[in-house]
Structure 1
Amino acid sequence: MSEPELIVRFTDADAARELRGEARAGLTDQPKWLSPKWFYDAAGSNLFERITELPEYYQTRAEQQILQRRALEIAEITGAATLVELGSGSSEKTRLLLDALRKQQTLELFVPLDVSASALRAAVDSIALDYPELRVRGVVDDFTSGLGALQSNTARLVAFLGGTIGNLLPTERAGFFDSVRAALRPGEWLLLGTDLVKDPRRLVAAYDDAQGVTAEFNRNVLHVLNRELGADFAPGEFDHVALWNAEQEWIEMRLRARRPLRVRLAELALDVDFTAGEEIRTEISAKFRRDRVHDELAAAGFRLHRWWLDDAGDFALSLAVAA
C-alpha cells in the first residue's frame, strides 16, 4: 500500500482570516448574511450527518440510489484514471465510484478535496486502507478556489455531489463552472449532483424537520462565531426560518432575532444591533431544472452527456464532458 498524501493549501490561519472578513462583511450588510461554510465545525458536521438520515431529507438517499445504479456506467463512459472529489467530507458515496472504476481497471489516483483537515485525514486514511492499490492525495482547500488540485496527466473525472452546487449564488456558480472547465482538458468529465424543483412544501420540510435538527444545525453557526470571534450571541434568542423563494427557485435558511439585541464580536471590535424580527441569511440552496443545468454547464464549455434521476424524480446526477 502506498502512503497517502495530505496537501494543506488552506490552513487554520487562512480559515480564521476568512471567517473574520466574511463575518464583518455579512453582519454589517443589509440584509445581514453569513456563509454556510461556517456551519461545518465538528458539531455542525455531526448535525449534518443526522440531517441526512431524517425522513424529510431525501437528497442523500436519492443521490445514493442513482449512484448505486449508474456508477458502473459512469466508469465505462469516462474511463477515468484520476477521480477528484470536491467537498469530499467522508467520501462515502464516492466509494461507489471507486468500486466501479476499480472494476473497470482504469483508476490510478483519487484526489479528495475538503476544507476540513481532520475530516479529510480520516477519509484519506480509510480510503487508502480499503483500496491499497490506489494512490490517494488529499488536498485541504476550499472547493471554490482549490482547483489546482485537479492537475493530473491522466484522464480525470471531477465529482461534485450532494447538491452542494446549490449553495452558490448564480454568479458564484458561473465562476465555479468556468474554473473547473479551465482546469480540465477537452474530453474530461464533471459529475454533478443537483436537487430539483418540486412541491415547495416538501422542500421547506427538508430544511425545517419535525425533530428540529436543522434548526440546531442553523444556530450552530452562532456557536462558531462565539468560539472563534469572541462573540456573545445567545443562539436561543434566534428562531430558525426556512422559506421557499419562488422567483429564484431556492430555499433560504435564516436566523430571526426574537427581540432587539446587541451582539459584541470581541475579536472584530464590532457591535451588531438587531431589531426584533431582523434576520441573518445563513444559506441558500438552489433547486434546478434540467434546462438550467444544461445552460449553465454549456455557458462554461461543458456538454451535458447524461442526465439520471432517482425513482421519485427528486434529484439529478449529470455527467458532462469538457467540450
Structure 2
Amino acid sequence: MTRGAWSKVPLKDESLIARSSQCLAVLDDGHAVIFSGEHLPRTPIDNITYDVDLSNGQVKQISGDAPVPRVGASIAADGDRFYLWGGRGGTAMEPLTGEDLGVWTLKKDESWQKLPAAGGSQPEPKSYHCANVVDHRLFIHAGCPTKGRSAQLHSYDPKDNAWTQLADAPAPGRGGTVLAASIHAGRNVLIRWGGFAGFELGADNSLDVYDVSSNEWNTFHPSPDPLHGLPGPRSVHGFVGITEGPVSAVLFYGEREASALGHAGAGAFWDDVWALHWDEKQEGETGGYSWRRVEVEGERPEQRGWFASTGYKDGIVMHGGLLSDNTRSDELWVLKLSQ
C-alpha cells in the first residue's frame, strides 16, 4: 500500500499573493520558482519572480528584467536552470506572440534571458499546454491555440536553439493536461492522463505513453485499484513522474466538472491522490500499469484545480490553485510518499 502525508510550508512573505494558472518548478537544492498566474480571472497578476526555500518557507524576489505577465504558461527545471514558454497575456484569451513568446531561461542567482530560436518547426502560440525536460531537452505538448486544442508535441534543444516537431499524441487535442516524466527499463518516457477537450478526459482510463527514443506513442488502460477502482476524469490537475521504485507517476486533485462560467467561475474539484505503478513483467492492454489510491494521513489541502505542481525528491509540490468558492489559494504544500 502506498501512503502519503501532506505538509504545509509556511511562506514568510505576504507579497506572494494567492493565484492560479501560475508557473512552478523546483531545483534539486529545494528552491522553488513561482512566476505570474492570475488572482482575478483572465488577468495576469504580475511578472515578479519568487524564489522559495522549501525547507523553511523563506521567500525572496529575483531582481532583473522578467518576461511579461502571463497565465497558462509552463515552466520546467533542468539542473540549475529553468525554462519558460507560452501562455496568454490578458482577458482576450489570445496566446502571447512575437517578442513575448519564445523560450525564456532563468539560472539560479542570475536574471531572465530569452533564448533564440535558430530553426526547426516551432509550436504555434498557445496556453494551458504542459512542459517537461528530458535529457536536457524541453518538451511542449497540447494546449489551447487561438482556436481549438492541440495534440502536438515539440522539443526544444538549448544546445543548438532549435525546435523539432515530434509525433502527435492520440486524439483528442486537449488543454489542461500534464506530461509526467519517468524511466522504464532504462528508457525515458512521458506519460499523459486526463485534460479538457470540451469535457473532462479520463473516463475511458486511457493512459498515453510517449517513448522519447523511438518518437512513438502507445495507449494503455491500467488495471484498477482492487478496492477503489479508477481515478475519475479531470483536467488542470497534478500528474508528476517518479523515476525510482514501483511508482511511475502520482496523479492528484484537479477539476472534475467545469464551471458554466468557464474561466470566470469555479467548477467541482477532486482532493484525491493516486499512484500509477508499472511492472515490466506485465503485458497486454494494461501495459503493466495499475492504479493504487494513496492513503493520505493527517491534514490535507482542500479540493482544488488550476494549481501549479511539480515533483521533488520522493514526493510532489503544489502551490495555489482555484478553490470551490471561486477564490485563489496562496498555500504551498509538499506531499511525501511511503510504501
TM-score range, shorter chain: under 0.3
* TM-score when normalising by structure 1: 0.26
* TM-score when normalising by structure 2: 0.25
The structure that has the greater radius of gyration is 1
**Structure with higher helix content:** 1
**Structure with higher strand content:** 2
